[in-house]
Amino acid sequence: MYSTKTLERFKNPSFAGGLRGANATGKAEDEISKDLIKIYMLIDEDGIIDNAKFKAFGGVATIVACDIACQMLVGKSLEEALSITEEEIISEFNDIPLDRKYCATLVEEAIKNAVEDYYKRLEKLEKKMAESQN
């Protein structure tokens, strides 16, 4: 069902777990499979993703898709992060069962939500700073 490469990555994902000091979190949920994923990002002052991690309640493909996405995210600007597509994630798998392709959609959505979360937090922070200056 899955390739050795996929299973190896599933067994030893490099980006699984929480991320201390994360300043952006994106959640996504699949209605049918009920998979739930969270992507955490640590974004520096220049808007570059310093680190990314994930947590997932889902199957092999979902965990591997999250791990692939986090690897792609590290070192990218937010704009570049938003341009990561489902197809890019899928192409990183040697094979992915047809009925598991939804996991790439899920990952793309979680990244968007994480970036959105970052801008929201930034906005709040700027507002706070403006208020304190007044």
Partner 1 sequence: MDKRVYLDSASTTYVSSEVMAEMLPCFNTIYGNSNSVHSYGRDAKAIVDRARDRIAHAIGAEKSNEIYFTSGGTEADNFAIKGLARAYSNKGKHIIISAIEHSAIMEACEELEKEGFVVTKIPVDSMGLVKLTDLIHEIRNDTILISIMAVNNEVGTIQNIKAIAKIAHDYSIIFHTDASQALGAIKINVQDMEIDAMTLTAHKINGPKGVGCLYLKNGIRIEPLIVGGSQERGKRGGTVDVALVAGFGKAVEIAERDMIINQQKLRSIRDYFIRSVQEKIEYVQINGHPQQKVNSIVNMSFDMVDNESLLMLLDMGGVAVSIGSACKAGSTEKSYVLQAMGLDDEHLKSSVRFSFAKNLTRSDIDYAVEVLQKAVERLRSISALTKAGRR
Which has the closest alpha carbon to 65: 11, 18, 35, 106? 106
Footprint (CB under 8 A) of partner 1, residues 28-57: 29, 32-38, 54-57
DSSP string across 1-49:
---HHHHHHHHS-SSBS--TT--EEEEEE-TTT--EEEEEEEE-TTSBE
Among 22, 24, 49, 60, interactor with partner 1 by CB under 8 A: 60
Tokens standing for 17? Answer: 């777990």
- Residue 99 near partner 1 by CB under 8 A: yes
Q: How many CB atoms lie within 10 A of CB 84?
A: 19
Counting Cβ atoms within 10 Å, is residue 88 exposed (0-12), middle (13-18) or buried (19+)? middle
CB 114 within 8 A of CB 38: no
Nearer to partner 1, 51 or 80 (CB): 51
37, β-bridge pairs: 28, 56
Nearer to partner 1, 80 or 86 (CB): 86
Among 9, 26, 52, 58, interactor with partner 1 by CB under 8 A: 58
Among 9, 13, 73, 96, interactor with partner 1 by CB under 8 A: 13
Q: Find the shortest distance in angstroms from Cβ 127 to partner 1.
A: 25
- Residue 9 near partner 1 by CB under 8 A: no
- Residue 129 near partner 1 by CB under 8 A: no
Contacts with partner 1, residue ranges (CB under 8 A): 1-2, 7, 10-11, 13, 16-17, 27, 29, 32-38, 54-60, 62-63, 99-100
